[in-house]
């Protein structure tokens, strides 16, 4: 397939210049920014972006003009993009980007869906949602691959299991194993660089959730041995993983005493955590790198997702389940190891004037801004209420500390839980949605490898960012001379030339199918023939 990319169209497309902090101060190199974000429903997120910043184009410019943007859980269906008007309303057609989409084609047609925006100066040979070559998985809209010549980006939204039974766990493990097989195939024996971006719905380190969220295993008799102490027996906990919070409350022992026996909350998904650990552990030696964990190994309580219904972002009781992974050679050659000082939350920035009228914000919003954030102390549900006692954001903190992570998650207390008493009872996030002093804090001072603390109203997840050195990224890695070169694409995506089929790319852009029909009747252009004309308007 031909390269469907376009040359630079404006200064917005110029590569960002950043210090390669992993190789010493002053060694400035042209860089490219990659961002991955679970938006938990793109239509509502897009509406807020449009309302706050005028257009998606302008918002992306404020984020640092990412070369590639991967979104998960879009909840957009193929029928929602049946023509260009519908596609533009969802931001699919932008002046400086082109986008590709993966849809849930299964019978249930529920959520899911992923999408990838590629800046027009970045080579792109095509896209497909047929990544695994297994229709039962590929048709769920959980995967999308974009081929950029020397590198491939795989956008993923892995299954969420929760309290589901063993069949769901087994299905998730099969999905993950098939995904790893596809990633290895895409590497072509080391001839391509590969990125995996998205929500894996998994943690693999204890640091990826606070102690209260970790779990401990009771034996078949309902006993747990901790520090030569025996807890139990508890008949209802026989042969079960139980949260440290529940055990601490019931056994009346400090949660800290359970830390030696604690495990990741997702260890209950048998086989899934070991799968991820085998891929990315130990750091610096594994075949795949968990970019954030390796660049910021000492950062504490840096999570990417929180329960909105329980208000857990406001106590920073979350999990890190969103990732950018890449093959080891690409990590060593291309990833910029940003300083810990680039992480948000270390020092409260000087407030800037709001760019949006704040007339909709009542005085009760201001009175809530300094409310202390709670940490649950009993055995009840984990939720944040403004009348509970808990950790309080501070003006300064070490960027690697838990305090800085809390500062970042709450914007130094600016984002807070709903009040449960007084005249502001029930009011909280709704009053903060259009406060642009809060919303503008999401934009980093400069592109970096780390996290972007997007507003709580936008999603219950925040974005993961990776800064990449442009020159090595756009050149192939040094493959072993004896390495094999399997066909990179499988199933519908495969073509005789070992490149993506044009059909699979068109299916990721449903609005082009309509143009193809129009061109048959003399409208001209076709799917790629009128590049640039169809995407001249921002959305």
- pLDDT of 164 reads 59
- 249 and 165 in a single domain? The answer is no
Say if residues 115 and 100 touch (Cβ distance below 8 Å).
Answer: yes
Domain of 289, in residue numbers: 28-208+266-345+399-413+433-474
- pLDDT of 166 reads 85
pLDDT digits (tens, 9 = 90+) for 319-370: 999 999 999 999 999 999 999 999 999 988 765 433 333 333 233 333 333 3
- 281 and 188 in a single domain? The answer is yes
Q: Which residue has the higher pLDDT, 383 or 391?
A: 391
pLDDT digits (tens, 9 = 90+) for 518-539: 444 444 333 322 333 333 343 4
- 154 and 232 in a single domain? The answer is no
Phi, psi dihedral angles at 364 (to 5 degrees): -65, -25
Q: What is the mean pLDDT of residues 478-494?
A: 60
Q: What's the rounded Cα separation, in Å, for the pair 120 and 137?
A: 30
Q: What's the rounded Cα separation, in Å, for the pair 314 and 421?
A: 17
For residue 38, say whether it is annotated as part of any ligand binding site: yes
Q: Is residue 124 part of a domain?
A: yes
- 169 and 242 in a single domain? The answer is no
Look at the chain and count its residues: 539
Q: What's the rounded Cα separation, in Å, for the pair 417 and 424?
A: 11
- 177 and 259 in a single domain? The answer is no
Element (H, E) at 363: helix 363-368
Q: Give the residue from 538, 492, 511 showing the smallest Cα distance to 135.
A: 492
- 241 and 339 in a single domain? The answer is no
The yes-or-no verdict on residue 92 having pLDDT over 50 is yes
Q: Is residue 296 part of a domain?
A: yes
Q: Is residue 15 part of a domain?
A: no
The yes-or-no verdict on residue 224 having pLDDT over 60 is yes
For residue 201, say whether it is annotated as part of any ligand binding site: yes
Residue 493: band (very low, low, confident or very high) from pLDDT cuts 50, 70, 90:
low
Say if residues 303 and 409 touch (Cβ distance below 8 Å).
Answer: yes
| Number of domains comprising the chain | 2
Q: What is the mean pLDDT of residues 144-168?
A: 90
pTM metric for this prediction? 0.84
- 255 and 333 in a single domain? The answer is no
Q: What's the rounded Cα separation, in Å, for the pair 290 and 272?
A: 16
Instruction: Give the strand pairing for 143-147 and 193-199.
Output: unpaired
Chosen domain end from 447, 474, 501: 474
- Mean pLDDT value across the chain: 82
pLDDT digits (tens, 9 = 90+) for 241-253: 999 999 999 999 9
The yes-or-no verdict on residue 264 having pLDDT over 90 is yes
Q: Is residue 65 part of a domain?
A: yes
CATH number, residue 74: 3.60.10.10
- 255 and 272 in a single domain? The answer is no
- 275 and 317 in a single domain? The answer is yes
Say if residues 319 and 203 touch (Cβ distance below 8 Å).
Answer: yes
- 333 and 454 in a single domain? The answer is yes
Q: Which two tokens stand for residue 88?
A: 């533009």
Q: Is residue 234 part of a domain?
A: yes
- pLDDT of 17 reads 33
The yes-or-no verdict on residue 185 having pLDDT over 80 is yes
Q: What's the rounded Cα separation, in Å, for the pair 114 and 109?
A: 14
Q: Is residue 53 part of a domain?
A: yes
- 99 and 204 in a single domain? The answer is yes
- 151 and 179 in a single domain? The answer is yes
Chosen domain end from 226, 247, 263: 263
Least confident of 21-30, 83-92, 109-118: 21-30
Q: Which two tokens stand for residue 138?
A: 């590929």
The yes-or-no verdict on residue 142 having pLDDT over 70 is yes
Q: What is the mean pLDDT of residues 383-401?
A: 67
pLDDT digits (tens, 9 = 90+) for 38-75: 999 999 999 999 999 999 999 999 999 999 999 999 99
Chosen domain end from 263, 278, 296: 263
């Amino acid at each position: 397939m031909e390269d469907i990319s376009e040359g630079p169209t404006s200064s917005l497309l110029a590569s960002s210049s950043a210090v390669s902090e992993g190789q010493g101060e002053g060694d400035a190199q042209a860089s490219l920014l990659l961002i991955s974000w679970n938006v938990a429903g793109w239509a509502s997120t897009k509406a807020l972006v449009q309302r706050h910043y005028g257009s998606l184009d302008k918002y992306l410019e404020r984020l640092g003009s990412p070369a590639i943007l991967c979104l998960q859980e879009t909840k957009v269906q193929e029928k929602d993009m049946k023509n260009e008007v519908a596609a533009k309303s969802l931001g699919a057609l932008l002046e400086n980007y082109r986008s590709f989409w993966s849809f849930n084609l299964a019978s249930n047609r529920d959520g899911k869906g992923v999408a990838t925006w590629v800046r027009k100066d970045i080579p792109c040979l095509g896209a497909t949602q047929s990544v695994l070559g297994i229709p039962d998985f590929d048709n769920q809209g959980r995967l999308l691959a974009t081929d950029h010549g020397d590198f491939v980006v795989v956008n993923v939204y892995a299954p969420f299991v929760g309290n589901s039974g063993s069949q769901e766990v087994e299905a998730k493990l099969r999905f993950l194993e098939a995904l790893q097989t596809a990633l290895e195939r895409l590497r072509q024996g080391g001839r391509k660089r590969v990125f995996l971006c998205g929500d894996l719905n998994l943690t693999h380190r204890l640091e990826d959730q606070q102690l209260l969220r970790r779990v401990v295993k009771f034996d078949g008799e309902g006993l747990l041995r901790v520090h030569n102490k025996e807890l139990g027996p508890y008949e209802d906990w026989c042969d079960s993983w139980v949260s440290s919070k529940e055990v601490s409350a019931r056994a009346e022992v400090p949660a800290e005493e359970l830390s030696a026996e604690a495990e990741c909350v997702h260890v209950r998904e048998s086989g899934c955590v070991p799968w991820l650990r085998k891929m990315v552990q130990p750091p610096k030696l594994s075949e795949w790198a968990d970019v954030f964990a390796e660049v910021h190994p000492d950062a504490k309580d840096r999570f990417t997702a929180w329960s909105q219904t329980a208000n857990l972002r406001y106590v920073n009781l979350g999990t890190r389940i969103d990732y950018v992974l890449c093959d080891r050679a690409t990590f060593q050659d291309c990833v910029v190891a940003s300083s810990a000082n680039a992480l948000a939350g270390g020092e409260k920035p000087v407030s800037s004037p709001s760019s949006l009228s704040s007339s909709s914000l009542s005085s009760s919003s201001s009175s809530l801004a300094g409310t202390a954030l709670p940490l649950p102390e009993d055995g009840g549900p984990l939720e944040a209420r403004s009348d509970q006692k808990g950790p309080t954001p501070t003006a300064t903190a070490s960027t690697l500390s838990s305090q800085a992570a809390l500062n970042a998650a709450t914007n130094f207390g600016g984002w807070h839980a709903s009040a449960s008493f007084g005249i502001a009872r029930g009011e909280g996030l709704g009053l903060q949605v259009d406060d642009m002093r809060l919303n503008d804090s999401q934009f980093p001072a400069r592109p970096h490898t780390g996290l972007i603390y997007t507003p709580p109203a936008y999603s219950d997840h925040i974005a993961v960012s990776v800064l990449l050195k442009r020159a090595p990224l756009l050149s192939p890695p040094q493959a072993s001379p004896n390495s094999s070169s399997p066909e990179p694409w499988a199933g519908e995506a495969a073509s005789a030339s070992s490149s993506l089929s044009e059909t699979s790319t068109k299916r990721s852009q449903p609005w082009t199918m309509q143009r193809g029909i129009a061109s048959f009747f003399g409208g001209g252009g076709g799917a790629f023939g009128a590049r640039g004309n169809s995407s001249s308007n921002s959305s």
